Amino acid sequence: MSVRPYVEKKTALIILKNDHLALFVRHFLRANGTDQTTIVYSTREAQEAMRNYDFDLFFIDYDMEEPTAVEWVRALRLSDGPGSEVPVVIIIPAASKEKVWAARDAGVNEILGLPITSNLLEARLTKMYAHPKPFIRVPTYIGPCRRREVVQIYHGDNRRGGKGRNGEESLLGDDFDTAALVAASAADMPSLAREIKGPARLNTPGKRQD
């Protein structure tokens, strides 16, 4: 099954530090019919872009700062705006169990390591859209259902440390302590969530767009 039926006519916000990777993701999405893609290089730029557009899909670099990617995703889920349930794909350059748990507890839908190929993107996005997880809203967690499962992080055929088929490493997911994560950032999240809530659907100069 092709990913095209799921992403065509959609709009995507790509929040990645690496310009080559951002352009690769953009090219893949455009080749599959995505209506518009916007590239920004920081979470602050992402917040600005979201005041001007509704986006249907987010890609974000785990290594973003001020706010971090984990903080940004958690704030997105808490925003209660039109983008609060939009799928988020996070890219973790050097994946570890701790980073995977933090990303999943923030409310991401899909996690990718490096390197990324077109076939991998198509397979993971197709899985994400064809078999969506229920969206959960409880006092301690907002995001896709986080029931216990094995997460596959792709490291490439020759990446050292890859343990599974095609270099994939199995990282065991679990019922995470989301209460602790939410409580730790409770003071900052409401204001950040308000900042990224609600677009005005206008064009934003200075951003890389189709």
Residue 41 lies in a domain: yes
Residue 186's pLDDT is what?
41
What range does the domain containing 186 cover? 4-197
pLDDT of residue 184: 37
Digit-by-digit pLDDT tens for the chain (210 residues) are 799 999 999 999 999 999 999 999 999 999 999 999 999 999 999 999 998 889 999 999 999 999 999 999 999 999 877 789 999 999 999 889 999 999 999 999 999 999 999 999 999 999 999 999 999 999 889 999 987 454 555 445 444 444 443 444 444 333 333 343 334 334 445 566 666 654 433 333 346 777
In a domain, 187, yes or no: yes
- Inside any domain, residue 208: no
Residue 204, domain member (yes or no): no
Instruction: Note the pTM of the prediction, 2 decimals.
Output: 0.76
Judge whether 114 lies within some domain: yes
Residue 145: inside a domain, yes or no?
Answer: yes
In a domain, 154, yes or no: yes
Contacts of the segment 64-67: beta carbons below 8 A, 24+ positions apart: 64/15, 64/17, 66/42, 67/43, 67/192
Domains contained in the chain, number: 1
**In the prediction, which pLDDT does 32 show?**
97
DSSP per position, the chain: --SHHHHTT-EEEEE-S-HHHHHHHHHHHHHTT-SEEEEESSHHHHHHHHTT---SEEEEETT-TTTTHHHHHHHHHHS-STTTTS-EEEE-TT--HHHHHHHHHHT-SEEE-SS--HHHHHHHHHHHHHSPPPEEEETTEEEE---S-EEEEE--TT-TT--SGGGEEEEE-----HHHHHHHTTTTHHHHHHHT--------TTSEE-
CATH of the domain at 118: 3.40.50.2300
Q: Answer yes or no: are the C-beta atoms of 36 and 207 closer than 8 Å.
A: no
